[in-house]
Structure 1
């Protein structure tokens, strides 16, 4: 069971895959996502199959021909690029995907009005020029055979690692006048901090905002609930997607468990800080916290909360390995 929704490991970094393989065996798994659009379930990201399923045959054939005249088969073309085309058919396709796939989903996920959505985010929405319905195209795609808890447990199983649970950083860590103190004693080694940078400095400049998710699990007396591991609901319901875990970890059972994801605001002490909210104001606030951190030469900030940025799993593992080599070894 994935407590925080589906997490499929995927990467093109061989180094990252080999490093994690020291701590887990894998079950190969290629994730597929469907989107509920106009009463039909179609592959996401939007691809040639999605186009044929949703649009009239003559229009979809014409669009496919025009797209493949301009781009190689298998390319991922961003809708911002299509919006700038002279061809009205291609502009229509970009607008269609924006309205049907992206707009309402993003409004739910981020709690934003349409005019507040960053155009750069819109520009990253792709059309995949193939019938490949896999959600990821990375070289390595899998889930840990015994789950992420098992993998992390093996990482921590080392005599030099002491794990302190239910302990706030301010119970053991103090930053004072350019020096770091751990358990009351000055610490001159490298200290890696992965928690919230604003919390580390007692919210001196305010609290950096995040979006969170409310995961609601349901058990059903049926063999299967849905035909794919994850189905997105961009335009209906308050939740954004439903995941059925038996697709990820196949078991034979007459019952099944699903989770519905409801986006919500992050409230300190009540839910998890999942996604940093990027605005000019939050970037400036983070910059000011970085200036405070710069006073501590042996403080190393790593991770989504400490760096106030989004990381995929493979990217943060690579970042951690790079930091270790460059700053700690």
Structure 2
């Protein structure tokens, strides 16, 4: 029996849910999107604060991708403001370019290295690790003990609530080390911010005659039998009532502040504080958005073990627990799990969109059978 035009429930209106919803709506399916929050956009939600400055309520979201397919899909729903994110890191009261590059070395150690000299410096100070299993292994193997302790060790302790030696290698592998002077945080082909903000982009994405959206709605309150298929983007362990135990996540607490009559609070979009303060970083939103205003708005991020799930914690024991939930998910005929929380993966935004587009295609194929 064909279910080509079956009613589909999308749980979550962030990147994963909104992308799947739009793709399925365009494939002639009737789609209902719900989100327990009062808005769409998930953690990328942005809005004007009380002073009229566009801020990201759940911390900075910087869009970057090498995928032309993802870029073209999102470009249907927004114009873009070109933006290359830059980060500085405060060590002993001084700001340095981060990720670590040649300028970082020259400023920190009073050197005058060229590119070959920077490569030789890293080779001299690195502590060879074989095999490379943990985040500590990655950093020590790349930049050695002193840079590890100045830039990575304490930041990781704050961000993850554990030692770098307790985290899988992939966490630190996301941060490159450069022998040139490129001070961009990302080097992707496409780097930009939605010109009208993320929320407007999501609203455009969810604007389709085959698609309805209900915010402030909890999945637990709905009758699942009313839908031919469910796309779930929340935590996979929550879907199964944490029957095998809770998958651990790190959360964040945000401290937003408006600074009146200040044109620029800091020289770059984000400044990291690995060794000082309880917060990890400060982001100034006007760098990201290019907005003109008499004042500026910033956010400090405080990692915490309690609160909404933000970051799956990449550890081997968590992978073992995840596989138990994945075994349950594999037996589901009419449920698709996609997104950072549903797949328990430390995905970037573009990776979530790419995974969601693939998921939508597979759902269409399944419902045609």
Smaller-chain TM-score range? Answer: 0.7 to 0.9
**Are 2:77 and 2:204, in contact at CA under 8 Å, matched by a contact in 1?**
yes
Kindly indicate whether residue 316 of structure 2 is the aligned counterpart of residue 280 of structure 1: yes
**Equivalent position of 2:187 in the other structure:** 137
Stretches of structure 2 that go unaligned for 5 or more consecutive residues are: 1-54, 130-139
Q: 1:258 aligns with which of 279, 290, 298?
A: 298
So what's the TM-score if we normalise by structure 2? 0.75
Deviation at 1:197, TM superposition (A): 1.1
Distance 2:216 2:293 in 1: 36
Q: CA deviation at 1:109?
A: 0.0
Query: Take 1:131 and 1:280, find their aligned partners in 2: how far apart are those partners?
Result: 35
1:205 partnered with 2:241: no
Q: Which residue of 2 aligns with 1:321?
A: 357
SS in 2 for 1:300: strand
Measured against aligned partners, the alpha-carbon deviations of 1:173-228 in whole angstroms (never above 9, x if no partner) come to: 54xxxxxx23xxxx4x4421111111111111111110011110111122221111
Match of 2:233 in 1: 194
Match of 1:215 in 2: 254
SS across alignment from 2:254: strand
Residue in 2 aligned with 1:297? 333
Separation (CA, whole Å) in 2 of partners of 1:145 and 1:7? 13
What TM-score, normalized by structure 1, do the two folds share? 0.84
Is contact 2:70-2:350 (8 Å) kept? yes
Asked whether the 8 Å contact 2:102–2:118 carries over to 1, the reply is: no
| Segments of 4+ moved more than 6 angstroms | none
Gaps of 5+ in 1: 71-76, 175-180
* Residue in 2 that maps onto 1:152: 202
CA distance in 2, matches of 1:91, 1:190: 47
Residues paired across the two proteins, number: 299
Go from structure 1 to structure 2 and tell me whether the alpha carbon gap of 1:261 and 1:106 turns closer, same or farther (over 3 Å shift): same
Separation in 2, partners of 1:9, 1:124: 15
Tell me the C-alpha RMSD between the 2 structures.
2.4
Q: 1:128 aligns with which of 158, 168, 178?
A: 178
| Deviation, structure 1 residue 304 | 1.0
Map of 1:84 onto structure 2: 128
RCO higher in structure (CA 8 A, sep ≥6): 2
**CA distance in 1 between partners of 2:142 and 2:202 (Å):** 47
Match of 1:162 among 192, 205, 212: 212
